[in-house]
A and B are shown apart, each in its own frame.
Chain A
Amino acid sequence: QLQLQESGPGLVKPSETLSLTCTVSGGSITSSTYYWDWIRQSPGKGLEWIGNFYYSGTSYYNPSLESRVTISVDTSKNQFSLKMTSVTATDTAVYYCARRVGGSIGAFDIWGQGTMVIVSS
């Protein structure tokens, strides 16, 4: 059973860089069938897609965040990571990593439990 687990600091200062890692267990991150995505949810708000990584090395980002976001992968550790620069209080959110099935069928079939990140001095 494939599982995803987010990890990283729960508190980040304004203007600094948010760094999170998602560890994939029970399956390979190099599968051609899936994309590996980051999604966030601000307190009491809806869901916002941040971006993803595909095994071929391609990444796609939400244009609203693209200038500040990088998603990378470490295949040796079966992990993918999110870096978001110049954070502000509006980046306070629960951050989820998720696996999305390729083929545009709207299927994020496995999610991490989420990790809360607070941006505050």
Chain B
Amino acid sequence: AIQMTQSPSSLSASVGDRVTITCRASQGIRNDLGWYQQKPGKAPKLLIYAASSLESGVPSRFSGSGSGTDFTLTISSLQPEDFATYYCLQDYNYPVTFGQGTKLEIK
């Protein structure tokens, strides 16, 4: 199975900060990657698909980049509602695998 390694595991930041979360695949996955936001007690929400395409309705402060093995999620200016846990996942091949998550907390 392809391993997805996210970093950092946790991150403290302030409203207005620019933050970047990275995801590294154990082998090349083209751009077959999505980014998700999960808040406590809720299902994950799709933010970015195909590594860099913004899901409809998601604010433009979220952006994704990368291809192959290295990917990033960037939030350009943190808003209070952005404090959550973020996951990447690959569906390049089966089994679909997720990163371990990055918990974004208020500084």
Query: Across the interface, which residues of B come within 8 angstroms of A49, CB to CB?
Result: 89, 95-98
Binds B, one of A8-16, A74-82, A107-115: A107-115
**Which of B11-19, B47-55, B76-84 forms part of the interface with chain A?**
B47-55
The number of residues on chain B lying at the interface, defined by a beta carbon within 8 Å of a beta carbon of chain A, is 32
Chain B residues, CB < 8 A from A46: 87, 98-101
Do residues B87 and A107 form an inter-chain contact, with CB atoms below 8 A?
A: no
Task: Decide if B49 touches A107 in the complex (CB within 8 Å).
Answer: yes
Please pick, from A47, A98, A104, the residue contacting B32 in the complex, using a CB distance under 8 A.
Answer: A104
How long is the Cα–Cα vector from A75 to B96 in the complex, in angstroms?
A: 25
Write out the residue numbers on chain A whose beta carbons fall within 8 Å of the beta carbon of B36: 108
Q: Which residue of A lies closest to B44 (CB)?
A: A111
Looking at B30, B95, B98, which has the most chain A CB atoms within 10 Å of its CB? B95
CB closest residue in chain A, given B51? A106
Binary CB contact string for chain A from 4 to 41 against chain B (1 if under 8 A, 0 otherwise):
00000000000000000000000000000000010000
B44→A108 contact, CB < 8 A: yes
Give the secondary structure class of A's interface. strand
Report A78-116 CB contacts with B as 1/0, cut-off 8 Å.
Answer: 000000000000000000101011001111110111100
CB distance from A65 to the nearest CB of B (A): 9
Q: Is B63 an interface residue (CB 8 A)?
A: no
B33 interfacial by beta-carbon distance below 8 Å: yes
Shortest Cβ distance from residue A5 to the other chain B in the assembled complex, whole angstroms: 12
Q: Which B residues have a C-beta under 8 Å from some C-beta of A? A: 1, 30-36, 42-46, 49-51, 53, 55, 87-92, 94-101
Known: A46-B87, A113-B42. 4 other contacts (CB 8 A): A96-B43, A108-B34, A108-B36, A112-B43
